[in-house]
């Protein structure tokens, strides 16, 4: 058993490829990474309610990125 398998609901396990997309470590900024994470999870959501919730979460992080002062 992989370490992350215990946190995934039975019957809804993600493949290694899906998990890699859901955990985009190549995005350096926390809020950009979180937005990408929620969007990737929304792609595999099984219900409209869950998909909508994940996309709302992604939008919140995108908004934080948009209003952050330029460095």
**Is residue 31 helix, strand or coil?**
helix
- What pLDDT digit, counting tens, does each position of 3-53 carry? 444 444 444 556 666 655 655 555 568 898 899 999 999 999 999 999 999
Under a CB-based contact definition with an 8 Å cutoff, are residues 42 and 58 in contact? yes
* Domain locations in the chain as residue ranges: 14-67
For 65, the token pair is 């990125």
Helices 48-67 and 30-43, packing angle to 10 deg: 160
Q: How confident is the model at residue 68 (pLDDT cuts 50, 70, 90)?
A: confident
The whole-model pTM stands at 0.59
């Amino acid at each position: 058993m992989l370490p992350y398998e215990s946190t995934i609901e039975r019957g809804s396990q993600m493949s290694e490829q899906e998990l890699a997309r859901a955990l985009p470590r190549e995005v350096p900024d926390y809020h950009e990474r979180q937005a990408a994470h929620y969007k990737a999870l929304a792609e595999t959501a099984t219900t409209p309610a869950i998909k909508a919730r994940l996309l709302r979460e992604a939008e919140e992080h995108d908004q934080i990125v948009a209003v952050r002062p330029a460095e």
